[in-house]
Amino acid sequence: MTDAHCHCRTGADRHFVCEPFGGEPGEGDMAFFGVHPWAFLDGTAAEDGWLGRLRARLVANPAAGVGEIGLDRLKVRTIPDAMREAFRAQLALAAELRRPVVLHGAKCWGEVVKAAAEFSPAIPAFVFHGFSRSGGLLPDIFALNGFVSVGPAVLNDHAVNYRELVKAIPADHLLAETDRTSPDEVGPGVGEIVAEIARLRGVAADALAAQLDANAARLLA
Ligand SMILES: [Zn+2]
């Protein structure tokens, strides 16, 4: 079983562990280095030279991807220029170093998809983490070699539109994630999330888990 987006290890066979780390990646995991969009809201990312330091760490770790990066309109009405510039700078870095990218796009997925498309010829693959918009953007996402990662929200039976979206994503572009930030955090494991996705889609959970592992392997290939 693969947890396609989290910030710490939780007991899956493989984790895509993104910064900010709540626990270091372990053997078999894939690490993603990057500055989260929220860091541009509270000033965490304001120190000079952050991009150069990120670049040096990526160069020193040739197997690492870039993430979690993106834009966010959950906490602010207007996206700050610094957030937008940092997103583009990190996409350019991923393109230059040919690394896969984990994207965050709360309430601004349209803009995130557009920016990703500009850099996509040189970026091997994208994880659309927590993607929750209606299906209209899916063809654009698949054209970028994008994978849609489904999170704990699928377990909420009031999330009717989201559960419909989860049913509509082609199996070969699907992933599952916990988005766990620390090992102590209470929340479902990736196995529960995969079981619910399988139930909604009317397929066997173990077959779906195998498909998602194959998708994760394809993404990293
Ligand atoms: Zn996250």
CA 6 – ligand 1 centroid, Å: 6
Q: Give how many domains the chain has, as a whole number.
A: 1
pTM, two decimals, is 0.96
CA 118 – ligand 1 centroid, Å: 23
Is the pLDDT higher at 41 or at 177? 177
Please tell me the predicted confidence (pLDDT) of residue 162: 95
Q: What token pair was written down for 212?
A: 């998602």
CA 96 – ligand 1 centroid, Å: 24
Contacts of residue 131, Cβ cutoff 8 Å, sequence gap at least 6:
105, 109, 137, 141, 148, 149
CB 75 within 8 A of CB 38: yes
Q: What token pair was written down for 77?
A: 């009405």
Judged against a pLDDT cut of 70, whether residue 48 lies above it is answered with yes
CA 129 – ligand 1 centroid, Å: 7
CA 68 – ligand 1 centroid, Å: 7
Q: How confident is the model at residue 7 (pLDDT cuts 50, 70, 90)?
A: very high
Judged against a pLDDT cut of 80, whether residue 50 lies above it is answered with yes
pLDDT in tens, 77-92: 899 999 999 999 999 9
Please tell me the predicted confidence (pLDDT) of residue 17: 97
CA 29 – ligand 1 centroid, Å: 16
- CATH number of the domain at 38, please: 3.20.20.140
Judged against a pLDDT cut of 70, whether residue 126 lies above it is answered with yes
Is the pLDDT higher at 97 or at 47? 97
Judged against a pLDDT cut of 80, whether residue 41 lies above it is answered with yes
CA 16 – ligand 1 centroid, Å: 10
Judged against a pLDDT cut of 80, whether residue 221 lies above it is answered with yes
Q: How confident is the model at residue 203 (pLDDT cuts 50, 70, 90)?
A: very high
Q: What is the residue range of 126's domain?
A: 2-220
Please tell me the predicted confidence (pLDDT) of residue 46: 65
pLDDT in tens, 54-63: 999 999 999 9
